[in-house]
Amino acid sequence: MIADIVISGLINGSVYALLAIGFSLIFGAARIVNLAHTAFYMVASYCIYFATHKMGVHPVLAMLVAIVLVTLIGLVCYQLFINPIREHEAAVLIATIAVAMAMQEIMLLIFTGDYLSVPALVMGYLRIIGVKIAYQQLLTFGVALLILAGVWAVLMKTRLGLAVRSTAQDREVANLMGMNESRVAMITMAISVGLAAFAGAVVVPLKVVDPHMWMHPLIMMMAVVVLGGLGSLKGSFVGSYILGLAESLVVFLIPMGAFLKGSVALSIMIAVLLIRPEGLFGIAFEEER
């Protein structure tokens, strides 16, 4: 029981971490609240389904294609719909919701609302202290950690990462220091959507694919990001594991818990906000919150 809770919590937590870090990155660097973030995750899942089932491509290749394709779609959406209205904060929120709804409807049109599934990359399972862990779950967990480490390395060790971080701290000064602010925003958008697509790719064998699958992760991701502090990567990382574990605790321990899992995660978020309005690791900018 305890092992079950911990394992499903860790896996959910890693997926939320992948999503939340992408969301947090683009918010930090460009002040864009991209509510379509998890819609890209859904599109990536559909791409993989289409490539493996309808075209018979090898799953690993399908994942790579899906990630590249979704990143391109994300950039096109950014250029067409978000970039022109970036200065209007409310308009960006609405535009991203509209993009997400449009994608959901397009997927409904192409694939209908049926529940689809993708086979696991590796079969079989492992027994640890009496709990069955599918190799696929281990793989998902490992790959998610690897990618998170990769993102961390890019942000901390490269010149690009420096540009992204400094733009996140102060857009105007970063611009004065010779960083092309709009190009940094665009590259960050690409990384962020790429992370969402990647989250979709690693999680697709474990989940049911349907056009509404972006709603629940969106809510959890926002709870994570607010809990950890908007724009703080460390906060998103810690927050995702806290909420991932809380979610599986509720599901396993409370009767009717499956209905309450969103409520509990969000209640934790609100409780933290009451004590620390800037989130766990957020830095309080006076004029921003």
Partner 1 sequence: MGMLSFYLRKLIIIFKGEVLVLPSRVVVFLFFLVLLFLPVVTQDPYLLRILILTSIFAILAASWDLLSGFTGQMNFGHALFFGVGAYSSALLNLHVHIPPWGSIPIGALAAVLAGLIIGIPCLRLKGTYLALTTLAFPIILMGVVFAIPDITGGELGVSGLDRLSRSRLTDYYVSVVLMLGLCTVMWKITDSNTGIIFHAIREDEVAVRTAGINTTRYKLLAFSLSGFFAGISGGLYAHFMRIAGPSTLEVSMSFTVVIWAVFGGIVTIYGPIGAVFILFPLLEFFRFWPEFRMLMFAVVILLILLYMPDGLLPWVRDKIEKECPRCKIRNVATRKTCRVCTAELD
Smallest gap from residue 260 Cβ to partner 1 (A): 5
Does 226 bind partner 1 (CB under 8 A)? Our answer is yes
Does 99 bind partner 1 (CB under 8 A)? Our answer is yes
Phi, psi of 34 (to 5 degrees): -95, 90
Does 245 bind partner 1 (CB under 8 A)? Our answer is no
Does 267 bind partner 1 (CB under 8 A)? Our answer is yes
**Single residue of 2, 3, 61, 94 touching partner 1 by CB under 8 A:** 94
Does 25 bind partner 1 (CB under 8 A)? Our answer is no
Does 1 bind partner 1 (CB under 8 A)? Our answer is no
Q: Could you tell me which residues come within 8 angstroms of residue 39 by beta carbon, excluding any fewer than 6 positions away?
A: 99, 100, 103, 104, 214
**Which run of H or E residues covers position 134?**
strand 131-134
**Single residue of 6, 33, 57, 75 touching partner 1 by CB under 8 A:** 33
Alpha helices by DSSP H, listed for 78-170, are 89-111, 135-157, 159-169
Site track 203-222 with partner 1 (rule: CB under 8 A), x = hit: ------------x---x--x
Residues in the chain: 289
Helix then strand count (H, E) for the chain reads 11, 2
Does 248 bind partner 1 (CB under 8 A)? Our answer is no
Q: Could you tell me which residues come within 8 angstroms of residue 257 by beta carbon, excluding any fewer than 6 positions away?
A: 250, 251
Q: Could you tell me which residues come within 8 angstroms of residue 132 by beta carbon, excluding any fewer than 6 positions away?
A: 125, 126
Does 283 bind partner 1 (CB under 8 A)? Our answer is no
Q: Which two tokens stand for residue 11?
A: 């896996």
- Contact residues for partner 1, defined by CB under 8 A: 27, 33, 81, 84-85, 88-91, 93-95, 97-99, 101-102, 104-106, 108-109, 215, 219, 222-223, 225-226, 230, 256, 259-264, 266-267, 269-270, 273-274, 277, 279, 288-289
